[in-house]
Structure 1
């Protein structure tokens, strides 16, 4: 306050609070003002929030089991396409796309086919785990979603793109086993080395309307590992796609 040449009354006016509130800030070091008031006070004083209330910054640092959660989106479609593009581009060892259809990747990620080809040629393992377009779970899901672009159509779009890639070392595609299909259709896992995007599919909602979690691996047995193990288990029993 001295550096900003402000009295408690002047700070209260600038921050839009009462003089008594400012006096409480000064007398009680454990008191944390409302976020909006903190922002207004910092703006008036020309300092960062951490200088006045370091406890707030400490509480923002994740130290528990949720530290692997980088971001969450209420809808998959709310995740910027740049996030997908950057994660695909960053993968150097394991690019595992275990969505039930995976079709949106061909339109959402610029030059996706060329990127897949380049990744495989550079030694990155590229895997597509798909639902069986002729499977019973696929048929049931189509009835639930009741949309023009059906589940089987979306799977076949991915198959067509993969066919266009032609034989390519490092690119593998499988259909989830019939007994695993219900687990596959209800949870999509997209892995990019040590990061993943995970979508739990809700009731009648199509994939882009379901929530999405962005994870980064930090330790053994964390959220990343649990979802990755789920996808690997489905892959271990999946059936190769026959061209």
Structure 2
């Protein structure tokens, strides 16, 4: 049975099968099957297509809601990775580079970003110059919770030195218009890398280094979802953090 809602939305917006396929990075034949045969795309693909068309994903594919309820999986989940090491740094860089309004980073150190992409500060400056609000919070190396994390992960004083190294990397950004740099002493349950309505969440596991802990990629699909939970968590941690002077 054809997907009449999808067909009408595409027609109203002047979208051809090829146009939508190119925007979503799939084969045009897949779009043709969605429209003419009523096939249902994978959730991540459906979310991207719906966002491209400016529609609610469940309005285009109601069956996804039913499947969602059966699996109890958040519709905001784009992807789940077994460990952070599975993601090339380019995933983080491309996400931040696409931000237009807001970048939020909450970590203890995450020096892997600067080590693998030395132009990170330049990218953040460029985003800020384009009007993107950038907030970076790194761990307070002298904080009790940072030291405790080192003990729990059997990393000793290494995590403290990496916090200092992270601050050294980011310090040139202190005082740059549009960029706010702070240090925090919170118990870090998750490292967060937010770009507008997307976020990479590196979930920390007791006794496990962050690179070996899982990461989930979320995209906001409405108010009150899991994305907002992490956004509010960032704000709460940010409010406790101390500004770094230029």
TM-score, normalization by structure 1: 0.69
Q: How far off its partner does 1:215 sit?
A: 0.6
CA separation of 1:207 and 1:87: change in aligned 2, threshold 3 A: same
Alignment-derived partner of residue 78 in structure 2 = 70
Alignment-derived partner of residue 87 in structure 2 = 79
Matched, 1:205 2:208: yes
Contact 1:85 1:110 in 2 (8 A): no
Alignment-derived partner of residue 145 in structure 2 = 137
Query: Which is worse superposed, 61-70 or 133-142?
Result: 61-70
d(CA) in 2 for partners of 1:72 and 1:162?
Answer: 28
Determine which of 80, 89, 100 is the counterpart of 2:97: 89
> Aligned to 1:208, what secondary structure does the other structure show?
helix
Q: Deviations over 1:61-93 (max 9, x none)?
A: 443462111100000111132211210110111
Contact 2:113 2:120 in 1 (8 A): yes
d(CA) in 2 for partners of 1:109 and 1:72?
Answer: 23
Determine which of 215, 218, 237 is the counterpart of 1:215: 218
> Aligned to 2:105, what secondary structure does the other structure show?
strand
Unaligned 5+ runs, structure 1: 1-46
Contact 2:109 2:138 in 1 (8 A): yes
Determine which of 95, 119, 138 is the counterpart of 1:111: 119
Contact 1:84 1:109 in 2 (8 A): no
TM-score, normalization by structure 2: 0.69
Unaligned 5+ runs, structure 2: 1-28, 44-63
d(CA) in 1 for partners of 2:170 and 2:118?
Answer: 16
Question: 1:1-243 alignment to 2 at 5 Å?
Answer: 58=40, 60-61=42-43, 62-63=64-65, 64=68, 66-109=74-117, 111-147=119-155, 150-165=158-173, 167-176=175-184, 178=185, 181-182=186-187, 185-243=188-246
Contact 1:128 1:172 in 2 (8 A): yes
> Aligned to 1:67, what secondary structure does the other structure show?
coil
Q: How far off its partner does 1:156 sit?
A: 1.1
> Aligned to 1:66, what secondary structure does the other structure show?
coil
Q: How far off its partner does 1:110 sit?
A: 5.3
